[in-house]
Chains A and B, each alone.
Chain A
């Protein structure tokens, strides 16, 4: 494998992982606030840097499947909480009915660290960062082109993270109820993907299964919103006639 093909392969493979990382950080930051989200992301990157510096190419000894199972399970159960809340809010108020809410009213501490945002962001960055490091070590060492692999992953990080920062402006304009539903869908999808992968089970279509999972949870959410609205209409009709 030449240096340029190692660069390109690592760049593309790492880009998939960076996209997942950026989606989690932007989603959590948009819903829970940015300060604690950045603190969590920074903490994840710091632990990752320590692991990479301490272990080097021995990094592949880290039990990634166990980490995927733990992080995936936690993201899944938390993502389902947001999915449920998002479904209830959207079914009750629509996409624009939330109005302005203060941080404390939304269950987010006004002062100090919001540990929910911190933990979600920390776990997402650490797990995805480790996967990127694995890709770099695997491709780089196998092809004896470690510097090209590091550069490829670095380029992917710069491009995707910059696109994420630009996209966060658009995300901030999404109504809060819809955003919670959207982020709940994404966290549930990533959580399901990683938890099942951590059990040693392969997904059909590999990383492409994440897109199918997002579609699955989005479809389920739309169905539940429809059912809850139908129930509310039926109840309103009963109250009027009764």
Chain B
């Protein structure tokens, strides 16, 4: 039982680290951007530009937050 539990915990931790990493907002932004892209595409609106734009913006916000957190007040 404990071996299975340990394996499942490790499996979950691996995928959490793989997808979310140290900043969940980047993965969340990508997910939202892909959903919006799909909705726009379904409404016949050109939307290929949205995910790359959202990804770069999310990275910028994340870097800014990390930079502020490491700056001594």
Q: Which residues of A contact B (CB under 8 A)?
A: 69, 73-74, 76-78, 80-81, 83-84, 87-88, 115-116, 119, 188, 192, 195-196, 199-204, 209, 213, 216-217, 220, 224, 227-228, 231, 235
Contacts and interface: CB of A to CB of B under 8 A. Distances in A.
A75 to B, nearest CB: 10
Interface residues of B, number: 30
Contacts of B19: 74, 77-78
Given A73-B30, A220-B56, A196 B18 contact: no
A73 B34 contact: yes
Nearest to B28: A77
Contacts of A195: 34, 51
Contacts of A199: 34, 37-38, 41
B14 interface: yes
Q: Is the interface of A mostly helix, strand, loop or mixed?
A: helix
Nearest to A231: B67
Contact of A83 (B14, B31, B59, B71): B59
Given A84-B26, A84-B62, A119-B18, A201 B41 contact: yes
A217 B52 contact: yes
Nearest to A188: B55
A152 to B, nearest CB: 30
A192 B67 contact: no
